[in-house]
């Protein structure tokens, strides 16, 4: 089989063009997916910061609850509740009420 120089060169150029086209298409696909992944990464970082902030708030809330739990076991708390809800007073204390009040 005899191939002329012109045909070989033309086939060679066409093969190179197809290979170049395939490489360009693959690069475009990788770039497109990379852009999508970068967007997801940015969203995930933002979500992570939001969750870390919520964790800090919940830890502060847990500390407040623990402090209140300890306070509820003190005599001061019992006295406060007795005064507020039951209207109890210490011996010798004077109670002043507004006129028209209960």
pLDDT digits (tens, 9 = 90+) for 19-32: 999 999 999 999 99
Identify which has the larger pLDDT, 3 or 81: 81
Which residue ranges make up each domain of the chain?
A: 5-86
| pLDDT tens digits along 58-71 | 999 999 999 999 99
89: which 2 tokens? 């007073």
d(CA 9, CA 15): 10
- Cα 26 to Cα 24: distance, rounded to the nearest angstrom: 5
Q: Is the pTM of this model over 0.95?
A: no
Contact present, 71 and 77 (Cβ < 8 Å)? yes
Q: How confident is the model at residue 89 (pLDDT cuts 50, 70, 90)?
A: confident
């Amino acid at each position: 089989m005899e191939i002329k120089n012109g045909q070989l060169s033309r086939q060679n150029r066409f093969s190179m063009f197809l290979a170049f086209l395939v490489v360009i298409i693959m690069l475009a696909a990788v770039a497109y997916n990379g852009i999508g992944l970068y967007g997801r990464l940015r969203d995930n970082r933002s979500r992570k910061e939001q969750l870390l902030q919520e964790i800090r708030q919940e830890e502060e809330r847990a500390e407040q609850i623990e402090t209140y739990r300890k306070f509820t076991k003190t005599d001061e708390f019992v006295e406060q509740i007795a005064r507020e809800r039951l209207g109890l007073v210490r011996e010798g204390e004077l109670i002043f009420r507004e006129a028209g009040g209960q």
